[in-house]
Amino acid sequence: MGQKLPWRIVAEWITEGEACIRSVEKVYAAGVTKFQEYLIGELAGIGKSLVLDGKVQSSLFDEHWYHEALVHPIMIAHECPKNVLIIGGGEGATAREVLKHKCVEQVVMVDIDAELIELAKKYLPEWHQGAFDNEKLKLVLDDGRKFLSATDMKFDIVILDLVDPMEGGPAALLYTLEFYRLVSRVLKPGGAMVTQASSPILTPRVYATIRNTIASVFNITRPYITYVRSYNGVWGFVAASNSIDPSNLSPDTVDKLIKERIRGELRFYDGITHQWMFTLPKPIRSILDSHNDVATDSNPIYVPV
C-alpha cells in the first residue's frame, strides 16, 4: 500500500500532462482576493511559500535566485539607475533588491492587488524586509497597463515582475506588443526593461514569443535564464533596451560594479553567475530560433495550463 496523501496538497500543473504535488505542512493565510486565489503556507521541500491561483509564485527556499536574477543584471548594466518602475512584485522582494542600489532615488511600484500586498506585509517579512516602509518607495495601487498609459513619469529601468500570462488572469495582456510599446514610452533615453518570461523548457513557445514580441519594440533584446526549484526547473527572463547590452559585461566588471554600487548582501548574483545566465545552452537557443510568433492584444500568448 502506498503512503497516504496529506489532507491538504498543492497540485500544480506544469505542462498539460505533468503536475508537481507538494504537501501543505502549515497554513498562515488562504482565501481569494478580488483578483486571485492565494495560499501562504509551509510547503514540503521548499518551505514558506506564496501560491497564487494554484501556482507557486515564490518560496523562501530560493526566492533570491529569482529576484536577484530579475533585478541586478539590468540594474548593473545601466550607468546609474535613479528612477525605477516595478510593475507587479507584490511580495516586496523585487523592491528590496532594487533598493540595494546606491544610485536609486525613487522606486515606483504598481500592483493591482491591494489585499495581496497587505497580506505580504503581514505574512512575508522575509521577502520585503521592510521595503514597503522605505521612503524611496512609492506604492501605486493600479492596473499596470493603465498606469503606463496615463503617467507622464519617465524611468531609467522598468522591471516587470508579473504572474504568467494566463487566459482570464490579471497579466493576460501584459506580454503583448502594445504593452511593450507602452513600456518603451516611459523609459528615459538610455533606459532599459526586464521581464520574467516563463520557462524555456516547460513552456518554450511562450518564452520564445515573449522574446520575439519584445524584440519587435527594442533594438537590443537579451534572453537569459536561471534555475528555480520552486518553479520546477529552468526559468527565463528577457532584458531589453535601445542602447544597453547586459550580456557584454565581463565577470570582473560585474563584481567591480557590485562592490561600488550595491549595499547589502547578495546571496545568488555575482560576476560568474551573470555570465552563466546569459550563456544559453544549445537546446534553448534552438527553441528561440524555431519560433517567430509575436503576441498582440488581439492574439495574446497564454501558458497552456
pTM: 0.95
Residue 10 has pLDDT above 70, yes or no: yes
Beta-bridge partners for 293 = none
Task: Tell me the catalytic residues.
Answer: 161
- Mean pLDDT across 252-273: 98
Cα separations in angstroms, 132 against 8, 98, 151, 184, 298: 32, 12, 22, 26, 36
pLDDT, tens digit (0-9, with 9 covering 90-100), for 71-126: 999 999 999 999 999 999 999 999 999 999 999 999 999 999 999 999 999 999 99
Output the CATH code of domain 9-58: 2.30.140.10
> Which residues in the chain are classed under CATH 3.40.50.150?
63-289
6, HSE (Cβ side, Cα atoms, 13 Å): 12
Sheet holding 83-88, edge to edge: 137-141, 106-111, 83-88, 155-161, 187-196, 233-241, 220-228
Q: Report phi then psi at 176, rounded to 5.
A: -110, 165
Q: Which residues neighbour 165 within 8 Å (Cβ) at sequence distance 6 or greater?
A: 171, 172, 174, 175, 198, 206, 295, 300, 301, 302, 303
Structure confidence at residue 1 (pLDDT): 41
- Cα–Cα dist 230/237, whole Å: 16
Q: DSSP labels for 78-145? A: SS---EEEEEE-TTSHHHHHHTTBTT--EEEEEES-HHHHHHHHHH-HHHHTTGGG-TTEEEEES-HH
> Which residues in the chain are classed under CATH 2.30.140.10?
9-58
Domain 63-289 falls in which CATH fold?
A: Rossmann fold (3.40.50)
Cα separations in angstroms, 9 against 26, 57, 62: 11, 16, 20
pLDDT band at 5 (very low <50, low <70, confident <90, very high): low
